[in-house]
Amino acid sequence: MSGAGEPSAQVTVELSGAADDAGGVFTVLGAAFASDRDAGAAPRPGPADGPTVWSGVFDTARPAGGGPGAAPSLSGPVTATVQGGYVAVDRLVTVLSAAFTVAEEGSASGDQEKDVTLRLESR
């Protein structure tokens, strides 16, 4: 992200699942919001003997200018943990819900931020 956006508009996203699936989720989010992730940078598979988590920060106050495009098909469920301000997290979840089937698996709320764990699957 070039420049600093409103801290309350930034959402940290952590994904676990297959690398290609994580890449598809990041592509959807990157089409909607400015990000610290390089455009087209695909997550690489992690070691076979343990879980891998990919992360990115998305600025929901700075639209990326791209359209939603076609939602990628996921080979399996992806777990997404999102953390940020209430409005920012809601904006990001709205984008994910337009592309995937989203089920909330848990959440924690604070005064100014919330953490939400989501399960994403293909429609």
Is 36 part of a structural domain of the chain? yes
For 40-98, write each residue's pLDDT tens digit.
Answer: 666 666 666 556 888 999 999 988 776 666 789 999 999 999 999 999 999 999 999 99
What are the backbone angles phi and psi of residue 17, rounded to the nearest 5°? 145, -160
Contact criterion met (CB below 8 Å) for 76 and 18: yes
**81 part of a folded domain:** yes
Does 40 reside within a domain?
yes
Residue pair 123/71 in contact (Cβ under 8 Å)? The answer is yes
In a domain, 94, yes or no: yes
Containing structural domain, residue 47: 7-121
> How high is the pLDDT of residue 63?
83
Residue 2, domain member (yes or no): no
Q: Residue 82: what residue type?
A: V
Domain count, the chain: 1
Give domain status of residue 1, yes or no. no
pLDDT at 37: 77
Q: Does residue 62 lie in a domain region?
A: yes
Considering Cα of 44, then 50, then 51, then 55, what sign does the dihedral take? negative
